[in-house]
Chains A and B, each alone.
Chain A
Amino acid sequence: DAGITQSPRYKITETGRQVTLMCHQTWSHSYMFWYRQDLGHGLRLIYYSAAADITDKGEVPDGYVVSRSKTENFPLTLESATRSQTSVYFCASSERGLRDTQYFGPGTRLTVL
């Protein structure tokens, strides 16, 4: 049972490049989320999705794009990476709702030089 996986686990890129972080879950959960975690800011919601083809902005969506063509996948794209986007990114899923128990992936540590 793979649960929820993220790839890559580590990524180093340069300012201005496009980067896509992948998230895949095997539970068929309807709800999926992207968070970033930075020292001093805790977990901040970037985007969320209630179902395939339904996405919405969270607290800090600027500079990010998401899509959800299939229930199990929820990729996050940084269109033009900036140093301020250096962070640890967590994908999460929930079976019952936006405010219900969430199950997190292992995270992607992204460094933008």
Chain B
Amino acid sequence: GQQVMQIPQYQHVQEGEDFTTYCNSSTTLSNIQWYKQRPGGHPVFLIQLVKSGEVKKQKRLTFQFGEAKKNSSLHITATQTTDVGTYFCAGPGDYKLSFGAGTTVTVRA
């Protein structure tokens, strides 16, 4: 079945630095979704990408969908303490949304 993998599993970032987290699917996706879960919270939908090569920005967050629609990335610039949490990507599978294991981000002030 379809697998969605995310790297890295953990990302420790100095406040103010940039970082990127990656999502890879074993199959071509019709869309890719990104969610954020704050510590102790629940996953919250951030964005959906549909088109090959699509790039969307939300303030300091830049999301990209690969040309082959099998991978995606999330780039955060000038990381802030509010960026702490786990970022999940998710892609449509056979009968469900397949979530990656997530990238857990911690920020050093």
Binding site for B on A (CB under 8 A): 33, 42-43, 45, 48, 56, 58-59, 90, 92, 98-107
Contacts and interface: CB of A to CB of B under 8 A. Distances in A.
Contacts of A102: 43, 45, 97
A98 B42 contact: no
A43, A48, A58, A59 — most chain B CB neighbours (10 Å): A43
**Main DSSP-derived SS at the B contact region:** loop
A23 to B, nearest CB: 12
A65 B6 CA distance: 31
Contacts, number: 43
Interface in B1-55: 30, 33, 41-45, 48
B87 interface: no
10 contacts: A33-B96, A42-B101, A43-B88, A43-B99, A58-B96, A59-B96, A98-B95, A99-B92, A99-B95, A100-B92
B43 to A, nearest CB: 5
Interface of B: 30, 33, 41-45, 48, 88, 92-93, 95-97, 99-102
Contacts of A103: 45
B42 A105 contact: yes
B96 A101 contact: no
A101 B99 contact: no
Contact of B100 (A42, A45, A59): A42
Given A56-B95, A99-B30, A107-B41, 18 more contacts: A33-B96, A42-B102, A43-B43, A43-B88, A45-B96, A58-B96, A59-B96, A90-B42, A90-B43, A98-B97, A99-B95, A99-B96, A99-B97, A101-B45, A101-B48, A102-B43, A104-B42, A106-B42
List 10 A-B pairs, minimum CB-CB distance, nearest first: A99-B92, A104-B42, A42-B101, A43-B99, A104-B43, A107-B42, A45-B96, A106-B42, A101-B45, A99-B97
B106 to A, nearest CB: 16
Contacts of B97: 98-100, 102
A15 B90 CA distance: 34
A101 B33 contact: yes
